[in-house]
Amino acid sequence: MIKGLGLTAGIAAPMLGLSSCSSSSEPNALSMLMMAPVILPIAGIYAGIEAEERMKKRERERAEALKAKRKDGPFVELWSNGKKRAEGTYKNTELHGLHTKWRKSGQKSDEGYYDEGRLIKSTSWHENGQKSGETRKTSAAWWYESGQIKREYFYHDATRNLTKKETSWYENGQKSYEVSRTSRGHSSSTRYWNKNGEEVSYKEWDKRSR
């Protein structure tokens, strides 16, 4: 039952105040029902993050596949219907300057600026025209199709390899989680809320020990 929620026993058991060492400590139906407001929102958050990571992985794999075919200079990729799929320029086999992508319908989906492979800034759009994502020097943000902000990251530096603060919202506008990190990547605090705005989990670490 715990696995069905997307949580391992090692994570769920401490949340339930139970030990996973003996069968007598297995959570019964009543205890699981009482803890559902805590477990379900967090499980949903992790599922959403995992789905986004899978999408990013597919994009990286596609980029790696294209890299083997790259040549310096401008390029254009086309959809099967003849419409543009992507357009940009390579320099030393890396994206450089303006890079634009379109959907099969001809609608622009992404636009970014690169400096020999390093993304400087980018903007993406949903099919309904609403902005879906935006990346800048030390920050990034994503939005739902409704226009409600979905997630916001602030990074320690322009490499954007390490976030110092992450915030996520449900589509109804309520915060779902907030994480702060030290420059070494350790979490200094984490906080989770359910869709009703009620805090379901909070933890803070002593930064001096990090």
- 100-150 pLDDT, tens per residue? 999 999 999 999 999 999 999 999 999 999 999 999 999 999 999 999 999
- Burial class (CB within 10 angstroms; exposed 0-12, middle 13-18, buried 19+) of 209: exposed
Positions in the chain whose pLDDT score sits under 50 = 1-25, 209-210
Q: Which two tokens stand for residue 123?
A: 């903007």
Taken in order of first residue, the domains within the chain and their CATH numbers are 129-209 (3.90.930.1)
Q: Do residues 86 and 101 make contact, with C-beta atoms less than 8 angstroms apart?
A: yes
Q: Which two tokens stand for residue 147?
A: 């226009």
What's the confidence (pLDDT) of residue 197?
95
**Cα 106 to the center of its chain, rounded Å:** 26
What's the confidence (pLDDT) of residue 61?
74
Q: What is the pTM of this model?
A: 0.65
The set of long-range contacts for 110-115, using a CB threshold of 8 Å and a minimum separation of 24, is 114/88
